[in-house]
Structure 1
């Protein structure tokens, strides 16, 4: 059985259900007599035309059956109210009949019927994501984050929900009681949730591909502070005075460059646009050979429009955050922490001049002869 035959069988079944809904005001035995053999006759007609069949409006077809059987026009259902799902099926059948009245409408409905398995899979993914993502089992776990057990469990969970959704679409695994309407509720929830899940899922998958778990995190190039890029640097001495043209190096002698490796590829020696109005961009100093030097701060500014237009324009002095840095009484003497013991002060050795003179011995008198 090919896809065309399957599509025709689905249409015929939906048409027969809609016709039966239009005859719901009649006794059940009369309805059975009227629609008996309807599905078989329409199936034979579709087979004779390679699956192509025009079904028309089910309401009009039901009226023709009433008229042929000598029954009155449709009236209210005696003793009971038409169930909402039958009314919905009748409305859908009438709408489908109007759409199929045009060639394009018939082609579009046939295409949607063929694509129904795609919707079954998307419905399953939406329902699984609605449960898994808040539980921390999102797309990053699927590609390996969280370890081997979490990855296997996430794949198995998504596969199980998709399988249930596909079986629902095939008319399987559905109870015969009131729980059969769970599929309808789930489909409505999936339609509402699916657009909200597309963006975070795509973003999570993209990050997971760029930064796989076994490669470690790779921060963006350039100088960052708490994950945010630094637009410029201003250097002050210990007395709070601004230093112009300060060259900054690391302890290894590496120039402190705000752009890192990106500075080698900056067009026209132009860096980030750093001011709020988006008019100015930082530019480097130049050495004697005209090469850009990116570690002399503060970096000067130039008009972004002038650089884009091919003109160097005039240099704009950046505004420092302070004309004078806050006075903190900087000192190089370490302040002892509470409870620490100060080292003993060495006692100076006495100088020779400070020594106590020893007494000079007095010669004893020589006795007279």
Structure 2
């Protein structure tokens, strides 16, 4: 063990491994406690003596550690297979010892230990995002865009999971059964998801703060005009007469649906938008299968009961059109141009000739007789 042909750091690590082997009959936790910092201490001693150190007998050194800790003499080493997590813990302990063998390594480890609470919070945020974002409850919902109930739900999820993560970091609220490794699994998932979460949050913030052209505001649900919600339509013919019960479709045959693609899920617009200012809501027509039809205009209105907050079916109202008759604008069809023809410019009218004035006869004097 005192072979001077090996570099000093290799001799120190070999000595530490030999001491660990002499303590192999003890539990892994006791071994880690006994030799924690051994490599770092021996390295410091070697530096104090110009890189030279006399290591001695590892068996004797291990016995001194046993005696100082009040542990029994070396017993037979059990051949029971050590669980994988204990082997991993032992390997981690050895790695930490090697890192602490240098002053810079010790400084880095101490800094990371001091920053552990930050990691606990980040882990909670990442786990909460893994639940909220796939459910459609993203940062915009936290900011209030999803409405009051959804915002409260998201904040509750985030705060609850962050609290659990912090308690895990403090060694609390950990399961003692077969689920005791859930913290490790959750930490790995959070570590893998954090870069994607950071990029998602950064792009969302920059889009809102600087008007990122790649960011698009979600469209207004249902039928809208220039971003403003449309709650009903009134159809007039070209002469200005109201057409009740008009079915409206797009050029592709798609119903111009007041409720958009969610129409068949709702029996009234109140379930989607809430009641209007007058306590009324728009009601659909029904097809032969009693399914709601939202593209037949004008749609009727129903009143919301103030006591129950539910639709009162006995209060069906006929909506009042904006005009009894649409303004007469003398509409005419625009003639379609003939294919291949061009518009001829209007001829310039010829100037009208101005007639020359008629000559006025000069009166002649009559000679006096």
TM-score clears 0.5 = no
Task: With the length of structure 2 as denominator, give the TM-score of the two structures.
Answer: 0.42
Q: Indicate the structure whose relative CO is greater, using CA pairs within 8 Å and at least 6 residues apart.
A: 1
Task: With the length of structure 1 as denominator, give the TM-score of the two structures.
Answer: 0.42
